[in-house]
Amino acid sequence: MLFENPSIEINELPSTEALDFKKLDPRYLTVKIVNHTIFFSFSGLGLVLFAWLRDGFPFNPVYLILLGAWVVIYLITLWYMIKAFQFKGYVLRERDIIYRKGWLWSSTTIVPFNRIQHCELSQGPFEKTYNLAKLNIFTAGGQSSDLRLPGLKKEEAARIKEFLVNQINDHNKPRS
Amino acid sequence: MTTTNPEANFNVPARQSRAAILIFILKFINNTFRKGWALLVPAFLALRKLSLDDWQIYVLGFVIVTIYIVFSYLSYQRFFYYVLGEEIIIEKGILYKTKISLPFDKVQTINFKQNILQQALGVLTLEIDAAGSGTEEISLEALRENRAKQFRDYILDRRGATEQLVEGESSPLDSDKTEDHTWKKRETKTLLRLQPVDLIKIGISQNHLRSMVIFAAFVWNIYDQLKKQLNFNEEEKIEELTGFIGNEWLGRLGLTIAIVLLLSLIVSLGLVFFRNFNFRLLETGEAIKKRYGLFERQEQSTTLSKIQSVSWGDNLIKKLFGLFVFRMYPAAGTELNSKKTISVPGCYRRHVKTVLDLIFGNQEVVHYSRHPMSRLFIRRYLLFLGILPAVFLTALTCMLNGFYGLFFLLWIPLAFVAVKVYYNKWQLFLSEDILKIQYGLFSHQNKMMFFHKVQGVKLSQSPYQKRNRLASLELFSAGRNFSINYLSYDTALQLQNYILYKVESYEETWM
């Protein structure tokens, strides 16, 4: 029991459990895999270059072990990324927006509309080719409470943004 | 300058007081030493190599002084402040001209500062802090005192008709004195005032560990230098110095610790005393103001509605005196800025109660329900802080030194007591509008906030938490974040839903 003498029925409040989360665009997973692979291949390449410049071609076994470890880390993180992707999702409710993520470590972040300061769209280079966008929602609570909603179709992201901006303006209007 | 209608005063670009020239000179000199000290030393050495005549040195000195004066005069001449529409505008710069504009509604806190020079010149620094992305902080370093107060009142007046501030301070007794300033309600209440005795208590109960470490390094350094300089024969001389203790090493250590303790005590006593001399916390209408300082008189103020959360707590020594440190966290823009935190270095329980009643409403009539954290906390922390390290250390030392290592097993009951104490102290208090968390191991700490100040909520679960149906709840606010771990998942979810309901149905603004 949350309160000893509540003035409202707490169990009847809208719950964030068992909501119908909308999944992210599957093409965003491709973007993530590409980004991930690029990062790992560049840093792996750096390692190879370093080893080559130091000892010449027959690599020192230490570097081979390091490189092997690098590949294993790459594969594990990639696997986790793919596995976790299906758990990412968002819901727009009447008065707030919810973003859920995580497979083993999961989290749900909720920002009420009347606490949003502003929002903006951003697009990485690969997201552009797939016509995807990321919606960034900023509150006054600092970086940790800002909501970053990736993997939206650009039109969809723009639509949500417009909806949110309208909500903010409605809230700021003097009430009669 | 006793105009009661400030409207006319601030719409025209105005310069600061002429005292600004002097203040700018000192600031430039200060900046040269602070930022350019790395250059000054080689420059000085180069000058010495040139072996200048006396008159050449005087000419050089004259040129440098002239440059400083000219620059300061120009900075004064080119510095304007005024109000245009809904914004405060600052124009400044000699070569690079900058124009800062700050909308009234972005103004967070307005602070006064006054150092000795400013006191002598009758001017003070007005600092205006802003919130939100991409805004700046304005600081006017040489405003005449009454002009500064008028400007502050003007800004606060324009920002919101409800947020009224009072310039003069008066005790509750003469608050009914009618004064000529009819354009605002004035009533100042002293919430707390620290007497010299309180300051001494605060100084004694300060956390000395930090200053101790610095001093220890300092003392050891001097000792080391002395040893080298005087060619100390350690064994003999030290024995002479600390002859009263048989074991020379122990004696040296004891002496050092005693000196360090005494020195750090004296220094923190002095610092606390001068920094917080005549410390007062005042309530003026909708605002809270803090005034303090002997050499540098400072003032910090914020409106009640800007305060996002508060915290208070003691430590082992403060507990003996019945003292608490109290902090208020106003909305601070993007990152929590400790400069904006209004902290009271020490006060008594009745003071804490007064301020809490002011911010959160009469606490005697608020009913709180208590919630402990999950008992699994004890098991987990005993394992990770007690059993695992103890077993590891025991095994290690047994291998190296034999059975002495078994002493490390004593760590386990100690850790158990500590974990149990922390578990018992940790309490979550919930009323219909307020959340309060109590925690601490040796001390008692509390933090408290209104539900409607929450900006966002995050509920998270690790695999361990999932297995045990636990969850962590993080509440983000513009002042300080609250994070609650080891709640049962159902409680966390319920609390989250309730907070969302409170925030989303709260019609007024959160600051």
Which pLDDT belongs to residue B170? Answer: 34
Q: For residue range B39-51, what is the model confidence (pLDDT) as tens digits?
A: 777 787 887 777 7
Residues near B278 by beta carbon (within 8 Å), at least 6 away in sequence: B193, B194, B291, B292, B293, B294
Residues B23 and B121 in one domain: yes
Residues B205 and B116 in one domain: no
Does the residue B105 lie in any domain? yes
Which pLDDT belongs to residue A175? Answer: 46
Does the residue B297 lie in any domain? no
Q: For residue range B376-386, what is the model confidence (pLDDT) as tens digits?
A: 999 999 999 99
Q: For residue range B217-229, what is the model confidence (pLDDT) as tens digits?
A: 776 777 777 766 6
Q: For residue range B289-301, what is the model confidence (pLDDT) as tens digits?
A: 888 887 777 888 8
Mean pLDDT across the stretch B194-214? 80
A41 in reach of chain B (CB within 8 A): no
Token pair in block for residue B34: 């602070």
User: Is residue B156 predicted with pLDDT exceeding 90?
Assistant: no
The model's confidence at residue B64, banded by pLDDT at 50, 70 and 90, is confident
Mean pLDDT, all residues of chain B: 81
Number of domains in chain B: 3
User: Is residue B309 predicted with pLDDT exceeding 60?
Assistant: yes
A109 in reach of chain B (CB within 8 A): yes
B500 in reach of chain A (CB within 8 A): yes
What is the C-alpha to C-alpha distance for residues B279 and B427, in angstroms, rounded to an integer? Answer: 32
Mean pLDDT across the stretch B315-325? 90
Does the residue B15 lie in any domain? yes
Does the residue B120 lie in any domain? yes
The model's confidence at residue B136, banded by pLDDT at 50, 70 and 90, is low
User: Is residue A171 predicted with pLDDT exceeding 70?
Assistant: no
Task: Give the ipTM.
Answer: 0.89
B268 backbone dihedrals φ, ψ, rounded to 5°: -65, -35
Q: Residue B274, SS3?
A: helix
Which pLDDT belongs to residue B211? Answer: 67
Element (H, E) at B466: helix B463-467
Nearest CA to CA, how far is A160 from chain B (Å)?
18
Residues B76 and B206 in one domain: no
Alpha-carbon torsion (B131, B184, B282, B168), positive or negative: positive
Q: Which of B275, B295, B315 is the last residue of a domain?
A: B275
Nearest CA in chain B to A17: B493
User: Is residue B215 predicted with pLDDT exceeding 70?
Assistant: no
- Residue B376 identity (one-letter amino acid): L
Interface touch B503/A14, C-beta < 8 Å: no
User: Is residue A26 predicted with pLDDT exceeding 80?
Assistant: yes
Of B505 and B335, the one with more pLDDT: B505
Does the residue B349 lie in any domain? no
Interface touch A141/B458, C-beta < 8 Å: no
Residues B254 and B153 in one domain: no
Q: Which of B275, B307, B334 is the last residue of a domain?
A: B275
Mean pLDDT across the stretch B130-142? 67
Which pLDDT belongs to residue A98? Answer: 94
Q: Which of B423, B449, B481 is the last residue of a domain?
A: B423
A88-172 CATH fold: PH-domain like (2.30.29)
Residues B122 and B236 in one domain: no
Of B207 and B122, the one with more pLDDT: B122
Q: For residue range A85-109, what is the model confidence (pLDDT) as tens digits?
A: 999 999 999 889 999 999 999 999 9
